Amino acid sequence: MEPSRVENELVMLPGPVTVSPRILRALSKPIINHRGEEFAALYRECVELLKYVFQTRNDVFVLSGSGTCAMEAAVGNVLGIGQGGKAITIVNGKFGERLKDIADRYGVAVPVEFEWGLPIDLEAVKSVLEEEEDVRTVTMVHNETSVGMLNPAREIGKLARKHDALFILDCITSIGGIDVPVDKIGVDIAIVGSQKCLGMPPGLSAVSVSERAWEVIEENGKKVPYYMDLKAYRESFEKGQTPYTPALPLFFALREALEIIKEEGLENRIKRHKSMAEAVRAAVLSLGLKLFPKLNEFSEYSNTVTAVCMPNGITDAQLRGDMKRLGIVIAGGQERLKGKIFRIATMGNISARDVLTVIQALEIVLAKYNVIEGVGAGVEAARKALGL
């Protein structure tokens, strides 16, 4: 691909996402003292804006690490090293499995597993909670991007609370794009990643921590991860600092990204993400393609990524390779789903133009391999869904 086109690629991945020029410009601001008052003001402003996006009054901290860093911070601080409590880990995709693997490192994971792409059976989760003793936490991925499914946060939150377990919710790809009222649904630790719905580069994550979670974390003392010791983050925040050197340019980008969200309005942003995803789903269905995940009454299609079954007559390499040659990057399936699905993300600061562009390119590629007879139906379906 020509260098100019690489610079202008349309990235429709479920993270990292295309970053708006306004946020990119913020990255180039001069370095400041990360132990000074200017950084303290910057950090506090970011936290206040994050509380707005998280819809929480709980403590919020920013970690210089990706979403997986925040995953381990949540699990490691609650369970502690060698403290013995159990974690019910709900799995129906790659990132639920990652939470399970992290809990496994502490020797306390009790997985409740479902086939990737199948909905969570609440009765199965309830049964495990009733059978197991010393359950300290329940973990779940809210928006499982590996399969394009939104999992039932409210219902799992109620079950966790009923059994006096903390609820750790991975909102890495939902906060900022899907309605996640953290406090209302009883989330004790919620986490978000910077390169998803917040629309900024990778490298930061944030966690919210409830009072219930603090009680457990404090009991664990120093038997928690060193770099991700949330008590250290709480103590440092009182001085407007992070316990270790922050990824300073990313904090500038974070403030800019959060200001963009505040200007748009969280409710409007959520509606935009929903309408973009609905347009993609309408388009692929009009082309005779099938959506991958299976739903039940407690699950929904994701509004930040659409997972589509790979049609006959074309391979993953052909589909995504030709899309990339047209200047558009979409995602394939991960691990056991490799070659079986492809995924188009609708997260961050994307527009209707971006959605129509990716659908037009998809039609061109599918027509090239005779998967569809002609082009136009997908774009038309997306146009109607967008109300254009």
Per-residue pLDDT of the chain (388 residues; tens, 9 = 90+): 454 456 789 999 999 999 999 999 999 999 999 999 999 999 999 999 999 999 999 999 999 999 999 999 999 999 999 888 899 999 999 999 999 999 999 878 999 999 999 999 999 999 999 999 999 999 999 999 999 999 999 999 999 999 999 999 999 999 999 999 999 999 999 999 999 999 999 999 999 999 999 999 999 999 999 999 999 999 999 999 999 999 999 999 999 999 999 999 999 999 999 999 999 999 999 999 999 999 999 999 999 999 999 999 999 999 999 999 999 999 999 999 999 999 999 999 999 999 999 999 999 999 999 999 999 999 999 999 999 9
How far is 375 from 218, CA to CA, in rounded Å? 60
Six-digit token pair at 361?
């390119």
Report the pLDDT value the prediction gives residue 5, as an integer from 0 to 100: 53
Do 107 and 36 fall within a single domain? yes
pTM over 0.75: yes
Q: Of 262, 282, 307, which marks where a domain is finished?
A: 262
Q: Is 268 exposed, middle or buried (0-12, 13-18, 19+ CB in 10 A)?
A: exposed
Do 48 and 190 fall within a single domain? yes
Cis, bond preceding 16 (omega within 30 deg of 0):
yes
Alpha helices, DSSP H, located in the chain: 3-7, 21-27, 37-54, 67-79, 94-105, 122-131, 153-162, 211-219, 230-237, 248-264, 266-286, 316-325, 352-368, 377-386
Do 178 and 47 fall within a single domain? yes
Residue 269's CATH number: 3.90.1150.10
**Coil, strand or helix: which one is 218?**
helix
For the chain, what is the domain count?
Answer: 2
Do 341 and 320 fall within a single domain? yes
Do 320 and 213 fall within a single domain? no
Report the pLDDT value the prediction gives residue 7, as an integer from 0 to 100: 73
Do 175 and 215 fall within a single domain? yes
Residue 58's CATH number: 3.40.640.10
Do 199 and 312 fall within a single domain? no
**Coil, strand or helix: which one is 189?**
strand
Residue 311's CB is within 10 A of a number of other CB atoms, namely: 17
Do 231 and 353 fall within a single domain? no
Q: Of 226, 241, 262, which marks where a domain is finished?
A: 262
How far is 41 from 35, CA to CA, in rounded Å? 11
- Among candidate residues 84, 93, 89, 116, the one with its CA nearest the CA of residue 101: 89
List the domain range (segments joined by +) for residue 170.
Answer: 21-262
Residue 115's CB is within 10 A of a number of other CB atoms, namely: 12
Do 364 and 378 fall within a single domain? yes
Q: Of 262, 280, 308, which marks where a domain is finished?
A: 262
Do 230 and 298 fall within a single domain? no
Do 141 and 250 fall within a single domain? yes
Do 182 and 258 fall within a single domain? yes
